[in-house]
């Protein structure tokens, strides 16, 4: 399904205790499939209680570079107004850090 040059990264964070995601998963997670040659995010999914949330978040990430953190953050802030907005931003930053550590090796 995914080409040999892709990697899978999970970014994680916490969200407010009253958020249904915390009740279901005990955290917030975003999974990203990234092309190592171009740094492009080719697929994405997140822990969510509504499928539409995961699909919408996918539309924000797919086609973007994992290295363009500011650009992705701006898009999250201007398009995603779910209760886990901050958690999504932290999870993406966490995934970015993990990706850069992997690429150094």
Dump pLDDT digits (tens) for 27-51.
Answer: 788 999 999 999 999 999 988 778 8
Q: What is the per-residue pLDDT for 23? A: 47
Return the H-helix or E-strand segment holding 89: helix 85-104
Domains and CATH numbers, the chain: 6-104 (3.90.1010.10)
Tell me the two tokens of residue 40: 């492009």
Please give, one letter per residue, the 3-state secondary structure of 12-64: EECCCCCCHHHHHHCCEEEEEEEECCCCEEEEEEECCCCHHHHHHHHHHHCCC
Look up the pTM and report it. 0.87
DSSP 8-state assignment for residue 81:
-
User: CB count, 10 Å around CB of 81?
Assistant: 8
């Amino acid at each position: 399904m995914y080409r040999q040059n892709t990697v899978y990264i999970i970014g994680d964070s916490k969200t407010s205790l009253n958020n249904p995601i915390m009740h279901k998963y005990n955290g917030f997670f975003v999974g990203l499939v990234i092309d190592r040659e171009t740094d492009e995010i080719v697929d994405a999914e997140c822990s969510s209680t509504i499928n539409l949330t995961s699909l919408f978040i996918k539309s924000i990430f797919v086609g973007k570079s994992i290295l363009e953190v500011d650009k992705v953050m701006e898009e999250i802030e201007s398009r995603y107004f779910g209760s886990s907005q901050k958690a999504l931003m932290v999870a993406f930053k966490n995934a970015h850090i993990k990706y850069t550590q992997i690429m150094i090796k």
